[in-house]
Structure 1
Amino acid sequence: MPRMARVVLPHMPHHVVQRGHNWQAVFVIADDYERYLDDLRELSDVLDVRVHAYCLMTNHVHLLLSPGDDVTSMGRLMKSLATKATRHRNRLDKRSGTLWEGRYRSSPVQTDTYLLACTRYIELNPVRAEMVSTAGDHPWSSYRQRMGHEDCWIHPDPSYLSLAESETERRERYARLMAEGVPRKELTLMQEAIQREQLTGNQRFVDQVAQITGRRIEQRPPGRPPSR
């Protein structure tokens, strides 16, 4: 059965996940991570794709991206990132072949309800995986930029900006939210939405996207649909 066509909307945040082929490691040494982030920064500028958050894990990446007017830019960004990382790894390992799964997964995110939770979900990924104790201990996520510990080139999303008037107070409030974690209900919704490439949002968001695209993307239960 063919996959449902991916839904990509202009100027709307999308949670994007790309995994290594057969869950193989795609980042081995610090230079691998650094190259990917350099490419992400450069290509996002060229292709007019805003990067709101990211987290690079050993065998997969989480990104929160907003394409501009040209919705194909997000796909071109992901293709270019994958190609560059594959060439780099193949050259180092003196091998050939694929590094990534054939298709990345993406889910449009409802800004006013789930966007801030999605940002925290992405930046807390290493903590949930028990790789680090706190998000700030992981050097390959956007959290350190957000907190002012590194040069900041990400574009803070509207939900983050609405936390407070000053950047100092925003960071304090966001740090408290990170310490609280992501509520289980929202965590499950985001995990299922990205796995099935559905919408990360409520029924109002489903209706809104249907008006924009002419397609109704309902939340589907796990497993195969029942036979008729």
Structure 2
Amino acid sequence: MPRPRTEQISVANTPFYHVISRCVRRTFLCGEDRATGRSYEHRRAWIEERIRLLASVFSMDVAAYSVMSNHYHLVIKLSPDDVQLWSDDEVLARWCCLHKGPMLVQRYQRGDELCGAEIQRVFQYADEFRARLGDLSWFMKCLNEPIARQANREDQCTGHFWESRFKSQPLDTEEALLSCMAYVDLNPVRAAIADTPESSAHTSIKERISPQFDLAEAIRKQTEQQSLNEFTVPLKPLLGFEGVIRKGFQRGILFGFEDYLELVDFTGRISRDDKRGAIDEKALPILERLNIDPGQWCERATRFEATYQDYRQSRRRRAA
């Protein structure tokens, strides 16, 4: 019998989780329907952009993702303690980026005059939203439900889009984390829809090595399509690679970015009987294919820390 979600997810044991969600009947509702020939490829972009939007609103970091034709994978780091640093006003603003919010909260945000009991109720709402913004189940609810509604509107139909609730798997060691991230980033290669990781689409590794990827513009289009409130929370980068253990708080992944790329490249060359694709054994090493020297990789790998500092400073300015 399945275990309750509260028993499957414990930040005290590990903050990292592998999450997977599949379309109903595992049909190609996000890719190309082989029966009708109709393409739904654009829906993969919906999911990718929604993932990155929610990662910036919730107290979670995305370490890896891949959006396939009939399912998607996520590697998420939960950071529930971050929610406690947010003021009530910031919590309300974040939640109302995604939802209209109760009328009382809307009046409070407009600056309407409220009595003491009404203000107390607003703070109770803030406490409820604070708990939700650190909860993986709410993250997935806010991800899957809007995508399902948008797809059903496009198809002019009703019914389930996702076959069931999401599946989650704890990643309680560094080896488990790295192997899962590589598995997620190599999904298009294993499915034989991409020859190499850098040529894949809608994956975290593609985003990491493609500086031209305009996430802000992508999310702006997403919010316009779904008629969401104006997005005012600073955009958060993917969880970065910190390379070495150092004193003090470490937020990122304790592995070098260059080393991770070589790990993915090496793993992708291994043929598997249960998978259709693999990286060509004759292909150049990934760093040579990308035509980037180690010095440039070092700069890109350490750029995450500066980017994240900019994000945190922007959040502090908003709170002040």
TM-score between the two structures when normalised by the length of structure 2: 0.51
* SS of equivalent to 1:181: helix
* Alignment-derived partner of residue 9 in structure 1: 10
**Change over 3 Å in CA distance of 1:50–1:94 after alignment to 2:** same
* Alignment-derived partner of residue 117 in structure 1: 179
Per-residue CA shift, 1:61-86, capped at 9, x if unaligned? 00001222258621111112111111
Amino acid corresponding to residue 23 of structure 1 in structure 2? R
The answer as to whether partners of 2:22 and 2:164 remain within 8 angstroms in 1 is no
Matched, 1:162 2:254: yes
* Alignment-derived partner of residue 196 in structure 2: 134
Matched, 1:177 2:176: no
Amino acid corresponding to residue 55 of structure 2 in structure 1? S
Query: Which of 51, 61, 86 is equivalent to 2:148?
Result: 86
**Change over 3 Å in CA distance of 1:63–1:177 after alignment to 2:** same
Amino acid corresponding to residue 178 of structure 1 in structure 2? V
The answer as to whether partners of 1:145 and 1:151 remain within 8 angstroms in 2 is no
Task: State the distance in 1 between where 2:16 and 2:66 align.
Answer: 15
**Change over 3 Å in CA distance of 1:174–1:180 after alignment to 2:** same
Q: Structure 1 residue 98: deviation in Å?
A: 0.5
What are the equivalent positions in structure 2 for 1:26-41 lying under 5 Å apart?
26-28=29-31, 29-41=40-52
* Alignment-derived partner of residue 202 in structure 1: none
Task: State the distance in 2 between where 1:163 and 1:65 align.
Answer: 16
Task: State the distance in 2 between where 1:119 and 1:157 align.
Answer: 12
Matched, 1:21 2:24: yes
**Change over 3 Å in CA distance of 1:73–1:157 after alignment to 2:** farther
* SS of equivalent to 1:154: coil
**Change over 3 Å in CA distance of 1:67–1:162 after alignment to 2:** closer
Which structure has the larger Rg?
2
Per-residue CA shift, 1:47-101, capped at 9, x if unaligned? 2121111000000000001222258621111112111111111111111000002
The answer as to whether partners of 1:55 and 1:62 remain within 8 angstroms in 2 is yes
The answer as to whether partners of 1:16 and 1:104 remain within 8 angstroms in 2 is yes
The answer as to whether partners of 1:55 and 1:123 remain within 8 angstroms in 2 is yes
Q: Structure 1 residue 30: deviation in Å?
A: 4.2
Q: Structure 1 residue 31: deviation in Å?
A: 3.0
Which is worse superposed, 10-19 or 142-151? 142-151
* Alignment-derived partner of residue 106 in structure 2: none
Unpaired segments of 5 or more residues in structure 1? 165-169, 189-228
Query: Which of 28, 52, 64 is equivalent to 2:75?
Result: 64
Q: Structure 1 residue 156: deviation in Å?
A: 2.3
* SS of equivalent to 2:10: coil
The answer as to whether partners of 1:52 and 1:157 remain within 8 angstroms in 2 is no
Task: State the distance in 2 between where 1:64 and 1:55 align.
Answer: 9
Task: State the distance in 2 between where 1:157 and 1:76 align.
Answer: 26
Q: Structure 1 residue 126: deviation in Å?
A: 1.1
What are the equivalent positions in structure 2 for 1:201-216 lying under 5 Å apart?
none
Q: CA RMSD in A?
A: 2.6
Unpaired segments of 5 or more residues in structure 2? 32-39, 81-130, 216-236, 244-251, 275-320
* SS of equivalent to 1:179: helix
